[in-house]
Amino acid sequence: MILAARGLRYAYSGGLEALKGLDLDVPRGGRLAILGPNGAGKTTLLLHLNGTLRPSAGELLRDGKPVAWDRRTLTRWRTMVGLVLQDPDDQLFAGNVYQDVSFGPLNLGLAEDEVRQRVDESLAAMRINDLAERPVHMLSGGQKKRAAIAGVLAMRPEVLVLDEPTAGLDSHGVSHLLAALERLSDNGTTIVYTTHDVDLACAWSDTVAIFHSGVVIGTGTARDVLTDGDLLRRAHLQPPLVFDIGLALKELGLLADGAPLPRSRAEMLVSLGQLMPQGASQDTQVGCSEAKLRAVFD
Amino acid sequence: MHLIDRVAHTNRWSGRNPRDKLLLGGGLLILSVVLPPVPGAVLVLIAAVTATVAGARVPAGDYFRVLMLPVAFMVSGAAVLALSVRLDGGGPAIAFSADGATTALTVSLRALAATASLLLIILTTPVSEFLGLLRKIRLPAAIVDVTLLVYRFTMLTAEVAEQARISQASRMGYTGFRRSLRSAGLLAASLLPRVLDKASRMETGLAARAYDGDLRVLSSPVAPSQGFAMASLALQGAILGISLFWLAYGIGGVGV
């Protein structure tokens, strides 16, 4: 576990308790989705993962060892765990994208050449090299988001922590963002993000942690956790659409009982493609007819 | 504000090293102050406007819209110089004096030329580039940081205010004078806590990138152009030469 939380408690001044003895494991190199309704304290949890907030009780472990809270440790910790806030306007401050991305590595005390190399590398990773000279208030929502992430990437974090990364983005912005995160994940960066979007957590994660009233009430793979009706009801969440459809298909005998449920739109289309009759010949492999399919989807 | 910012980022010289533009605009500014307004200020004015509109391709319409504000101040100031109140004989009367008119004209010309020289720098240089230059000339970091944050927050505040205004307007907040006044007051009152809230979230964002109290950034590298510098100096030399020639052979009676 690259990061872990044990018995984490945190109350805001005024007494509102956001975390109530929370346990969480962040596996190295994995993709962890923290799923929960709005206002449940997910952001508070993320702010603990890079040491911005200090818990009133409980501890945080980095590589299995409890972390300290002195200045030097905090700097190293925040370099290792890159935090991307929900609203990119809270993060972008410089005049243009290039300058903003250079901010983090300059704070690490790197030489100018090294900083420039890292800026170029981060802009390339987010595919925004062409926006380098653009002033930050002249970017679209999706572009701002990717610029904010590039600013964090330039510090080469081992863990990238994102608060509601897809909130407010159009579908084009979301697919660009997910493609970029996919590349980072493939290169070994651990990714942790919060979301209230069940379909996103289902499609894009190795582990899903369900967060409700200050604690994690369930952790596991999407197929384990997001099919647990009781768990979902307790967290006021609905099952992902693809699981609902997949289960309906199994019920109708269109999808083999042992076959894994499709986790994303793409996987769903693939399994539907296997069901669909090819040309004139009726596909009998899975015992399905066109009429039967129509009955399901009309 | 938005207009200036947009023009500064989209003109043909926005990618140029700011040192180039500072040399040209700053030199013209000095000339407009030290040379006699005729012909010095006239030549500087022509040079600065031509450089900005023809050289940097700042749209003429945008240029004059930005220029209008300082010009309005100049005109009102000049009017006071040209006119005087006479108290002799009967009641007070407003009088026009030739002396006053000459002073008004020379002062206005000089002010206009100086403004055009400044606009040449302002309209062609994005704030971010300008700040890099301020850092290079070793201005204290605190001043540069505050300038940068003021710029960024001005833009953010303008954005927040515009959103709030639209939301008020679409709920009939600006129909009638009394209601407009009330809405504007509410907007102003809600702006400060909102911007402060934003500022504290920004602090979290900066801390996540190992902020240590010093907002250092790098600009993408563009070398100053030797040719541009030579051309600037040649232009300024020509203006100086013509003015001195004019003075020496005494063509004009108007001078300071």
Evaluate whether A43 touches A57 at the Cβ level (below 8 Å). no
Q: Which two tokens stand for residue B203?
A: 């602090």
What tokens were used for B13?
């010289």
pLDDT score, position A153: 92
Instruction: Please give the DSSP secondary-structure letter assigned to residue B40.
Output: I
Q: In chain A, whose CA is at the least distance from the CA of B198?
A: A90
CA B52/CA B63 separation, integer angstroms = 8
CB atoms near residue B15 (< 10 Å): 13
Alpha-carbon distance of A205 to A31, in angstroms, equals 5
Secondary structure class of B141 (helix, strand, coil): helix
Q: Are both A120 and A252 inside the same structural domain?
A: no
Most B CBs within 10 Å: which of A133, A144, A163, as the mutation test of the B interface? Answer: A133
The type of residue at B2 is H
Nearest to A247 by CA among A271, A230, A270: A271
**Out of B15, B208, B217, closest to residue A102 by CB:** B217
User: Chain B: nearest CA to A100, how far in angstroms?
Assistant: 7
A254 and A212 belong to one structural domain: no
Interface membership of A112 toward B (CB under 8 Å):
yes
* CB contacts, 8 Å: B13 with chain A: none
- So where are chain B's domains? 2-125+225-248, 138-207
Residues A169 and A255 in one domain: no
Interface test with B, best of A78, A90, A91, A145 (most B CBs within 10 A): A90
Strand order across the beta sheet in which A159-163 lies? A81-84, A159-163, A190-195, A31-35, A207-212, A215-220
Residue of B nearest to A84 (CA): B205
Helix (H) or strand (E) holding A119: helix A112-125
**Residue that is last in its domain, among A218, A239, A260:** A239
Residues A165 and A262 in one domain: no
Looking at the complex, does the CB of residue A116 fall below 8 Å from at least one CB of chain B?
yes
On chain B, the residues whose CB falls within 8 A of the CB of A91 are 202, 205-206, 208
pLDDT of residue A271: 82
Neighbouring C-beta atoms of residue A7, cutoff 10 Å: 14
Stretch (H or E) spanning A163: strand A159-163
Pick B209's closest partner by Cβ from A132, A138, A151: A151
Number of domains in chain A: 2
Is the bond into B36 cis (omega within 30 degrees of 0)?
A: no
CB-hemisphere CA count at 13 Å for B196?
Answer: 5
pLDDT at A143: 92
Q: Determine contact: A135 vs chain B, CB below 8 A.
A: yes
Residue A47 and residue A108 share a domain: yes
CATH for A175: 3.40.50.300
For residue A79, the chain B residues in CB contact (below 8 A) are: 210
Compute how many other C-beta atoms are within 10 angstroms of the C-beta atom of residue B36: 17
A162 with A269, same domain: the answer is no
Give me the residue label for tokens 């307790």: A234
Q: Does A103 touch chain B (CB under 8 A)?
A: yes
* Interchain CB distance below 8 Å, A85 and B218: no
CA A140 to chain centre: 21
Residue A26, C-beta contacts closer than 8 angstroms, at least 6 positions apart: A1, A2, A3, A4, A32, A49, A159, A190, A192
Residue B116 identity: A
DSSP assigned state of A165: T
Of A239, A271, A287, the residue that ends a domain is: A239
* Whether residue A40 is found in the same domain as residue A153: yes
Q: Does A157 touch chain B (CB under 8 A)?
A: no
According to the model, what pLDDT value does residue A256 have? 82
SS3 content of chain A, % helix, strand, coil (to 5): 45, 20, 35
Whether the CB of A82 is below 8 Å from some CB of chain B: the reply is yes
In angstroms, rounded to a whole number, what is the distance separating the alpha carbons of residues B31 and B47?
11
Which residues of chain B have a CB within 8 Å of the CB of A122?
none
Angstrom distance (rounded) from CA A161 to CA A3: 11
Of A75, A85, A135, the CB nearest to B210: A75
pLDDT of amino acid A266: 85
State the helix-helix crossing angle for B2-10 and B60-82, rounded to 10 degrees: 130
Q: Max Cα separation, chain B?
A: 76
Rounded Cα distance between A204 and A182, Å, is 9
Q: B18 vs A61, B25, B44, B240, CA distance in Å? A: 48, 10, 20, 24
Beta carbons of A98 and B151 less than 8 Å apart: no
Instruction: Give helix B42-50 / helix B18-34 axis angle, nearest 10°.
Output: 160
Task: Count CB neighbours of A221 within 10 A.
Answer: 14
Given the DSSP bridges, would you call strands A207-212 and A57-62 parallel, antiparallel or unpaired?
unpaired
Residues of chain B contacting residue A103, judged by C-beta atoms under 8 Å apart? 206, 209, 211, 215-217
Question: End of a domain among A239, A257, A285?
Answer: A239
Provide the phi-psi class of A171: left if phi over 0, else alpha when psi is between -120 and 50, else beta.
alpha
Better-scored residue on pLDDT, B161 or A27: A27
pLDDT tens per residue, chain A (298 residues)? 899 999 999 998 777 889 999 999 999 999 999 999 877 789 999 999 988 889 999 999 999 899 988 888 888 888 899 999 998 988 888 878 998 999 989 888 899 999 999 999 999 999 999 999 888 878 888 899 999 999 999 999 999 999 999 988 888 888 889 999 999 999 999 999 999 999 999 999 999 999 998 999 999 999 999 999 999 999 999 999 999 999 998 888 888 888 888 998 888 888 887 776 654 444 444 445 555 555 555 5
Give the mean pLDDT of B37-57: 89
Of A90, A112, A134, the CB nearest to B218: A112
Residues B3, B65 contacting (CB under 8 angstroms): yes
CA of A73 vs chain B CAs: smallest distance (Å): 11
- For residue A35, the model assigns a pLDDT of 94
What is the three-class DSSP state of A231? helix
- Using the predicted structure, report yes or no on whether residue B116 has a pLDDT greater than 90: yes
What pLDDT sits at residue A276?
Answer: 66
Both tokens assigned to A30: 């994995």
Please choose, from the candidates B245, B246, B157, the residue with its C-alpha nearest in 3D space to the C-alpha of residue B199.
B157
| Contact between A94 and B128 using a beta-carbon 8 Å cutoff | yes
Chain B residues closer than 8 Å to A98 by CB: 218-220
Considering the domain architecture, whether residues A46 and A111 belong to the same structural domain is answered as: yes
Which range of A118-122, B51-55, B204-208 scores highest in mean pLDDT? It is A118-122
Q: Which residue has the tokens 């970017």?
A: A139
Strands A17-26 and A3-11: antiparallel
CB contact under 8 A, A93 and B148: yes
Contact at 8 Å (CB) between B4 and B122? Answer: yes
Minimum distance, in Å, between the CA of residue B149 and any CA atom of chain A: 7
Predicted local distance difference test score (pLDDT) of residue A283: 44
Domain extent, residue A254, equals 242-297
**Residue of chain A nearest B130, judged by CA positions:** A95
- Token pair 């300290």 is at which residue? A68
Instruction: Give A82 or B93, the one with higher predicted confidence.
Output: A82
Do residue A252 and residue A220 come from a single domain? no
Pairing label, strands A31-35, A190-195: parallel
Query: Looking at this predicted complex, what is its ipTM?
Result: 0.71
Instruction: Tell whether A49 and A99 lie within a shared domain.
Output: yes
Asked whether residue A246 falls in the same domain as residue A288, the answer is yes
Say yes or no: A58 and A173 in one domain. yes
CA distance B211 to chain A (A): 6
Work out the average pLDDT over B30-55: 89
Total count of residues recorded for chain A? 298
Q: Sign of torsion, CA A165 A171 A172 A176?
A: positive
Contact across the interface for A94 and B217, Cβ inside 8 Å: yes
pLDDT of residue B256: 44
Q: Look at A202 and B6; give whichever has higher pLDDT.
A: A202
Count CB neighbours of A231 within 10 A.
17
- Tell me how far apart the alpha carbons of residues A209 and A201 are, in angstroms, rounded to a whole number: 9
* H or E, element range at A23: strand A17-26
DSSP summary character for residue A40 = S
Q: Which of A247-256, A278-287, B43-52, B57-66 has the lowest mean pLDDT?
A: A278-287
In chain B, which residues have their Cβ closer than 8 Å to the Cβ of A124?
Answer: none
A132 vs B9, B202, B220: nearest CB: B220
CB pairs under 8 A between A and B: 112
Percent of chain B with pLDDT over 90: 17
